[in-house]
Every structure is written in structure tokens, then in C-alpha cells.
Amino acid sequence: MKTKQWNLMNDKINIESAIQEAALLLKKGETVAFPTETVYGLGADATNAEAVAKIFQAKGRPQDNPLIAHVATMEQLRKLLDKLPGYVEDLISAYSPGPLTYVLPSNGTCAPNVTAGLSTVAVRIPDHPIALELLTACDVPVAAPSANLSGKPSPTTAGHVAEDLDGKIAGIIDGGPTGVGVESTVIACREDDVVILRPGGVTKEQIEKFVPVAETFEKNVDKPTAPGMKYKHYSPEVPLWLVDGDISRIQGVIDEEKSKGKTVALLARDEVLEQVRADIRLSLGSSLEDVANKLYDNLRKVKETDADVIISEVFPDSGIGQAVMNRLRKAMTTYID
């Protein structure tokens, strides 16, 4: 398959025609990758089971892993649902468009392979102008997991998408690097409270301003109700070790591996990189927001080096740090404390 690419960063004049062309492909049952504020998504018409099946085929994604339906407006969102608790409208007013996904009772509009045969559907309104224009133009809900090979680091640039999926999908819209850098928060919306199924760009503390959070995200789930819950994800091509300790502990682990003849890459914030010696240094910036934004790009970059192992510091498990640590735990091969 020849993958059509639209570079909207260098060709802003023809954005409208590119969006219309991509929307037509989606309406014809094809798959198109597009930018959101979190990561790039691989989209297909969520009402068309045959189109959605192409997502699973291109990604090599397990069939029991549900997808998120993306819409442009509150009106489109309502068309997918059986009911909408009042507090969800408050959350939508505060955080949508944005990196928050709502798992709610489905009315059956989305195809069964979007919901993995469950009675609920995951839906969100992305906060990216290209995504919103595309969703408006095609006027159907668009199922869109991350546009990468299943299990690999999610894509935060169109180049990442092409690296994994060129020749396997119909199109890629290049809208430049994404913003948040990790996937959306997913919440199961119950009558009077919510459960965080996957931490992401909207934090627990932000959600609790509107509704009680009953518990944190679930683990070891056999039948996942949202993406990112069951399977190993985000893994780089080099073994990733998390080291939970101070500077001297991190340095000790690096020195031990170097003594065995290994080339060691260090994935850390700048303040740690300045104090630790390693063969390869992968900067995650200074703030936790920087870490989230730069994480996937650095996990992909490491394969361009001769590293035998990646050593990563452990980050604070609060705010967006909870999303970062969720991704790192799923990506790691070894945890050292």
C-alpha cells in the first residue's frame, strides 16, 4: 500500500484540501494517522467494523483491546452514548477538548471491535486544531489508538508514525510534534464517582475538583475496559531498567553494567544527567511536564545508538508523573530498588 503524506507544517496554504482528502479516505473505510495534543492517532470510521479491523491489522494490536472514539463536539459525543451522568458534563466543560477520555454506556453506534464487545465505549474530544478539523470534516466518530506498532513507544511526530506504519496505512497527516507527549487519562464514569483506568494528561487532582475518584487505575486486568490496561506497551528496542534510588545508587548500577562491557544510556532529567556519568545521555528536560513530552521520542532515539541497556531514574508518582511512571513500568524489563 502507498501511504499518502500531507505535510501541513510546511504547506499551511493547502490545509483545508488536505483535511478534506484525508476525511474522504476515512469515510471510504481507510486508515489515516493524525496528530492530537497527546500522541499521533491511527484513525478509522468507528461505525465501520471493516475499517476498524484495518487498525488492528496495521498495528498488530490484540483484538480484545478496546479503542477510543474521537469526536469534535459535545453533540457528536452524545450520539454515541446511552446516558451521561451530570458530573461528566462538568468535566467536559473543564477539560474537553483535552486529554481526558470518558468510558460510558454505549448505545451501539460504534462497531463491536471498537468497544471489544463491551457495553461501554471510550470517547474523547482531542485538543488539536488539525484533529478537530478532520473530525468535523468526516462527521463520523473516529476510532484512534496510538499510530505505532503495538507494544512500541507511542509516536509524537509524523516521522515516528512513518517509521512504524509506512506502507501499512492509507495516509499520515504531519502536524508537527505533539504537546502533552503521553496518552489521555481514561476514566470509567460511574453514577457518583470515577475510576482512573489509565493516568494521563489530566491528573487525579484535577478530576477530584468535580467528582470523587474511587480508586486508582486497575492492574492485571484480563478483560480491559480501556486501552493500556492489559498488555505490555511503550517498549524500546533496548532493555529498559528503572533504578529507584539516589544519585549514588544510579551511578553504582551504571558502573556495574559498564564493568561488564556494556554501553549504558541514562534516561533522566537534566539535574541528574549533570551528576551521573554514562556513555549516552538522554535528556528529559527539567520539569515533569518536560519528561512526559520527551519520553517517547527518547525511547525511540536510543535504537540509533549502540546502547546495550537504558537506565532510567524513577520519577515522582504524582500529577503527570503518575502517567510517566505508568508508561515506564509497562515498558521496563527490570526494576531495581
Strand pairing category for 309-313 and 264-268: parallel
Q: Looking at the predicted structure, is the pLDDT value of residue 67 above 80? A: yes
What cell numbers appear for 177 in the block?
A: 510534534
Name the segment(s) of the chain with CATH classification 3.90.870.10.
4-215
Above pLDDT 70, what percent of the chain?
94
What SS3 state is found at 331?
Answer: helix
Q: Are 33 and 158 in contact (CB under 8 A)?
A: yes
Question: Tens digits of per-residue pLDDT, 213-248?
Answer: 997 655 545 555 666 555 556 788 899 999 999 999
What SS3 state is found at 6?
Answer: strand
Mean pLDDT, rounded, for 290-309: 96
Q: Are 286 and 270 in contact (CB under 8 A)?
A: yes
- pLDDT for residue 227: 62
Q: Which residues pair with 7 in a beta bridge?
A: 174
- Given CATH 3.90.870.10, say whether it is the number of domain 4-215: yes
- pLDDT for residue 220: 44
Q: For helices 288-301 and 320-331, give the axis angle rounded to 10 degrees.
A: 20
Q: Peptide bond preceding 141: is omega within 30 degrees of 0, i.e. cis?
A: no
Residue 66's pLDDT band (cuts 50, 70, 90): very high
Mean pLDDT, rounded, for 122-151: 96
Alpha helices (H) along the chain = 15-27, 49-59, 74-78, 86-95, 112-115, 129-138, 158-165, 204-207, 247-259, 270-273, 288-301, 320-331
With 0-12 CB in 10 A as exposed, 13-18 as middle and 19+ as buried, what is 177? middle
Mean pLDDT, rounded, for 196-221: 84
- Which has more confidence, 79 or 10? 79
Mean pLDDT, rounded, for 92-100: 98
Mean pLDDT, rounded, for 87-99: 97
| Rounded Cα gap, residues 123 and 141, in angstroms | 9
Mean pLDDT, rounded, for 40-58: 98
Residue 335's pLDDT band (cuts 50, 70, 90): very high
| Rounded Cα gap, residues 313 and 331, in angstroms | 14
Mean pLDDT, rounded, for 267-285: 97
Mean pLDDT, rounded, for 287-313: 96
Question: Tens digits of per-residue pLDDT, 151-171?
Answer: 899 999 999 999 999 999 999
- pLDDT for residue 233: 63
Of 29-38, 104-113, 209-218, 230-239, the one with minimum mean pLDDT is: 230-239
Mean pLDDT, rounded, for 119-146: 97
- Residue 31 makes CB contacts below 8 A (sequence gap 6+) with 42, 43, 44, 51, 54, 55, 58, 169, 170, 171
Label each residue of 254-319 as H, E or C: HHHHHHCCCCEEEEECHHHHCCCCCCEEEECCCCHHHHHHHHHHHHHHHHHCCCCEEEEECCCCCC
Name the segment(s) of the chain with CATH classification 3.40.50.11030.
240-336
| Rounded Cα gap, residues 167 and 224, in angstroms | 30
- pLDDT for residue 232: 56
Q: Are 184 and 100 in contact (CB under 8 A)?
A: yes
Mean pLDDT, rounded, for 166-191: 96
| Rounded Cα gap, residues 225 and 67, in angstroms | 9
- pLDDT for residue 169: 98
Mean pLDDT, rounded, for 23-30: 98
- Which has more confidence, 234 or 40? 40
- Mean per-residue pLDDT over the chain, rounded: 93
Considering the domain 240-336 in this protein, what is its CATH number? 3.40.50.11030
pTM of the model: 0.93
Q: Are 194 and 213 in contact (CB under 8 A)?
A: yes
Q: Looking at the predicted structure, is the pLDDT value of residue 149 above 70? A: yes
Mean pLDDT, rounded, for 283-288: 97
Mean pLDDT, rounded, for 116-121: 95
- pLDDT for residue 62: 81
Of 61-65, 301-305, 315-319, the one with minimum mean pLDDT is: 61-65
Mean pLDDT, rounded, for 252-280: 97
